[in-house]
Structure 1
């Protein structure tokens, strides 16, 4: 506790927030790169009936985030009263439609927004271009040309904040029930991980990536309680923060720092260091115009869908789910559904057509 106070006295509030974001983001980026943490990969495994290592890693991260977050709440170290996903008015239509769009987009772009950032740091130029398009689209949806469409879709079904958005309050499970729920999912994750015989970094990276979500909730909550200026209580997310970082790069210098401005570069840096140590840095580009069109469409759908839903695969699917925000769980469910259908309609059908075309004809 005293460490955060000392950090503020040394650096000031803005720099302390940015440094915390940099360190937590760097840890997430390193662990996500080493474990290959990716929601799209997990969904594709489930959709194809494989239930392999990618699902195991995602479940380890997902359950670890829930356990630490709910544990912090029960210990009195974190309070959700000022968490945007719970306290403010939300949109179920935005969560559902945005989640569906994001799910389609992450299959087309072969990775969600956080995965694109991790891959871009490793030299993947496809991910770099897609990530930039994602950030531009997210900014356009937040306050630009696409914002009227986002506002109209979000207004279709609006719910109040507070207990109306809290799944634990609605279900009557309470915080203890939320912790038990996380432990049950962790048990399932361990079963899948042992069955898939995932490597050491799969265990460490999956669990560690999930723990950074709870760590971010605690850190920003602590900072909000100590800061004189209003400070958002937030965790890891990549839709709004990516748009924010993009606009700061394009704006005159001297803008105040915040958690997001440290977190996004931190993820990039952490992933770069992990790839450098593992000798996995490699420049990769597009293979033809068709692939480029696919990635661009996917990035646009993710940028708009993520902003409409109020979170990405990590922001809603892990951070929001860890505080049991109703809209976050709707978004996560929609992502799984849309990604599964898109994989079946686009990738598996294309693969089947290619096999048919190359099969030898009957005599």
Structure 2
């Protein structure tokens, strides 16, 4: 049954590559461009998963267990993870699918991310992580605090997301009125054209991400693992397996993340977008630093932009939503430091134009 993880991971990698769906870009663009082009579809993915998970839980197909809330670890880890994804040029899933496209910088970030997640979870710093995450509060979820059914936050959140989706679609339609799209000659016809030739709309990526997240709960439960999509723990398991040879670490979740690499590689090859790209030394060093920071942050926070910001949020756990906010703040701070600040400094150092008097 663990091979279903590989198949679902391949589907996820394909969707991420074709839709260019990266949570880093969604958070970063909110700050830099005031754009919700990817952020609202990401919220839509959470809403779709929330409805599906609540329904499947109600009929007894799955039995999700929201993570306990350790405020200091979640906030600190989330901030670190947000900084790390800007340094690495992508979040955990974004790093995986870009590695599948042949980006060496993403491979560097991925290796250090998996290594330091293993150090924090199973290695010499495991006791520190365990102690930090042991400082929890009583309630784990919003519905637990309010004493209501999970359907109350599910319906309220879904209604809010519905309003945001309608507003964004209308605004996008208004901006595109009168514009003529430039269409390149199709390389393929029929289904192949849509699968490989053209980039997918962010809405397609968001909807499919939500559906895949629901399927992950069902398939993972069938394989004996009670959980949905996850990236950090299986990445740590891969690093630990490679150093210890412990085959018991190779489970459904490990197959899932390996499948992301496979799916994104297939998508990139079919679209003619795969090629090995070697960045400069500065980018490689920053990618390594980003990977380290992501691994440490995700281990402390109990998850990454998938495990927390997508999956735990759909359960309305405090860990999920507080981590999402912390990651966003870390992303914005790092975007200012690494992107905005250097641009402003460069602009300030340019000599003023010399004006010559008119003849």
- Report TM bin, short chain: 0.7 to 0.9
Structure 2 unpaired stretches of 5+:
177-198
- What do residues 84-116 of structure 1 show as CA deviations (whole Å, max 9, x unaligned)? x34xx5422111111111011111111111110
- 8 Å CA contact 1:34–1:202 kept in 2: the answer is no
Give the corresponding residue for 1:124: 103
Distance (whole Å) between structure 1 residues aligned to residue 249 and residue 292 of structure 2:
28
Distance (whole Å) between structure 1 residues aligned to residue 247 and residue 225 of structure 2:
20
Displacement of 1:182 after TM fit? Answer: 2.6
Change (3 A) 1:51 1:40: same
Shifted more, 188-197 versus 96-105: the winner is 188-197
Give the corresponding residue for 2:338: 346
Q: Are positions 1:182 and 2:161 aligned together? A: no
Give the corresponding residue for 1:336: 328
* TM-score, normalization by structure 1: 0.83
Q: Are positions 1:232 and 2:210 aligned together? A: no
Q: Are positions 1:158 and 2:136 aligned together? A: yes
Distance (whole Å) between structure 2 residues aligned to residue 270 and residue 193 of structure 1:
29
- What do residues 304-358 of structure 1 show as CA deviations (whole Å, max 9, x unaligned)? 1101111011011101111112112111111011111221232111112223334
Change (3 A) 1:213 1:248: same
Alignment of 1:191-270 (within 5 A): 191-193=167-169, 195-196=171-172, 200-223=200-223, 231-252=224-245, 255=248, 257-270=250-263
Change (3 A) 1:282 1:100: same
More helix by share: 1
1:30 aligned residue (11, 14, 19): 14
Change (3 A) 1:262 1:175: same
- 8 Å CA contact 1:216–1:235 kept in 2: the answer is yes
Give the corresponding residue for 1:21: 5
Distance (whole Å) between structure 1 residues aligned to residue 234 and residue 62 of structure 2:
22
Distance (whole Å) between structure 2 residues aligned to residue 235 and residue 360 of structure 1:
56
Partner SS state of residue 170, structure 1: helix
2:44 aligned residue (48, 60, 67): 60
Structure 1 unpaired stretches of 5+:
1-15, 224-230
- 8 Å CA contact 2:75–2:322 kept in 1: the answer is yes
Distance (whole Å) between structure 2 residues aligned to residue 131 and residue 300 of structure 1:
9
RMSD of Structure 2 on Structure 1 (CA): 2.3
Distance (whole Å) between structure 1 residues aligned to residue 124 and residue 147 of structure 2:
42
- 8 Å CA contact 2:40–2:161 kept in 1: the answer is no
Change (3 A) 1:361 1:268: same
Partner SS state of residue 158, structure 1: coil
Change (3 A) 1:28 1:102: same
Displacement of 1:152 after TM fit? Answer: 4.3
Distance (whole Å) between structure 2 residues aligned to residue 193 and residue 121 of structure 1:
31
Change (3 A) 1:179 1:362: same
Partner SS state of residue 71, structure 1: helix
Q: Are positions 1:320 and 2:312 aligned together? A: yes
Give the corresponding residue for 2:181: none
2:81 aligned residue (72, 79, 102): 102
Displacement of 1:74 after TM fit? Answer: 3.7
Distance (whole Å) between structure 1 residues aligned to residue 243 and residue 7 of structure 2:
24
Distance (whole Å) between structure 2 residues aligned to residue 186 and residue 251 of structure 1:
48
* TM-score, normalization by structure 2: 0.84
- 8 Å CA contact 1:317–1:329 kept in 2: the answer is yes
Give the corresponding residue for 1:39: 23
Give the corresponding residue for 1:8: none
Distance (whole Å) between structure 1 residues aligned to residue 49 and residue 286 of structure 2:
32
Distance (whole Å) between structure 2 residues aligned to residue 109 and residue 36 of structure 1:
16
Distance (whole Å) between structure 1 residues aligned to residue 204 and residue 262 of structure 2:
19
Displacement of 1:50 after TM fit? Answer: 2.4
- 8 Å CA contact 1:220–1:234 kept in 2: the answer is yes
Change (3 A) 1:193 1:352: farther
Distance (whole Å) between structure 1 residues aligned to residue 90 and residue 83 of structure 2:
10
